[in-house]
Amino acid sequence: MTGWIAAFLLFGAAFGFATFAHRHHFSEGTSRRSGDPLDGRWMWVCLCTCLWPLYAVAGAYGWWRRWRRASRTPGS
């Protein structure tokens, strides 16, 4: 059981590091830096470590909405 929990947390941390620059696609902040310490990479990684399944679903939904909007745009 401990192995599954460790794998879940490690995958979540890797997901957080990989998606930090694209967190605006998950409706979580901007792609620019701010002075707020809670808006940093470590906070994003901590959130993703525990909540990565929710962020994966939210990211897939956001991708689908952007794809659908682009497909409806004339001339593209």
**For the segment 10-38, what is each residue's pLDDT rounded down to a tens digit?**
999 999 999 888 877 776 655 566 666 66
Average pLDDT over residues 51-68: 90
How distant, in Å, are the alpha carbons of 3, 14, 18, 43, 67 from that of 47? 20, 12, 13, 6, 26
Q: How confident is the model at residue 7 (pLDDT cuts 50, 70, 90)?
A: very high
pLDDT of residue 52: 92
Q: What is the pLDDT of residue 33?
A: 62
Q: Is the entire prediction scored with pTM above 0.75?
A: no
